[in-house]
Amino acid sequence: MPRVKQRTPELRDRVLQTAVATLAEAGVTGLTARRVAQAAETSVPAVYELFGDKGGLVRAVYFEGFRRLRRHIDALPTTDDPRTDLIALMANLRVFVRENPVLGEVMFARPFVDFDPGEEDLAATRSVREFIVGRVRRCVTAGQIAGNETDIAHVLLALAQGLARQETAGWLGSTRASIDRRWHLAFRATLDGLGP
């Protein structure tokens, strides 16, 4: 009698978590269905049945990255100073990317040719975008910065991503003090330049 296939939600979650761990350990080129299946103690056909193909697996990793980022930023307190809260958010994004550099690459740089997020995929990341725009909106409403809140959020996120990539690549400085100073300089100068 053939063995009953069990493609359970638990197996899907285990494969997904294994894919994220494999990505962190082996990088973009090391993320293969075979490697993930072996580490998750399942079969390659099971991975394909659960995710469709490698692109589907990468898509699931992409969404998992944004779920993790949202949990990360949800832990941030809200104070009476919107500018401080916005800077804290950028610092939090920095920590997330530093702790998850390859996951950050999947989320923001799209390194896989078999996955190019479409409108539906980008819509699924909306809660993170709304959180960032909300922090910018508080600064605009408080008169600490001036401009379109969505435009400013995009600029700040791009700045944080660029600095994080430089930091993880070792290009932003050789000491923690110099790296921290450059992060602080970038955001202080940008927010001061956006002053009303």
Instruction: Identify residue 60 by its one-letter amino acid code.
Output: A
pLDDT at 102: 83
pLDDT at 3: 44
Q: Which residues contact 78 (CB under 8 A, 6 or more apart)?
A: 85
Helix (H) or strand (E) holding 3: none
Query: Superfamily for 1-52?
Result: Homeodomain-like (1.10.10.60)
Secondary structure in 3-state letters for 51-96: HCCHHHHHHHHHHHHHHHHHHHHHCCCCCCCHHHHHHHHHHHHHHH
| Contact (Cβ atoms closer than 8 angstroms) between residue 51 and residue 57 | yes
Query: Superfamily for 61-193?
Result: Tetracycline Repressor, domain 2 (1.10.357.10)
pLDDT at 101: 85
Domain spans in the chain, listed from the N-terminal domain onward: 1-52, 61-193
- What average pLDDT values come out for the chain (196 residues) when binned by 10 residues? 62 93 89 93 93 88 89 94 96 91 82 70 80 97 97 94 89 94 96 94
- Within a 10 A sphere around the Cβ of 171, how many other Cβ atoms? 11
- Within a 10 A sphere around the Cβ of 116, how many other Cβ atoms? 11
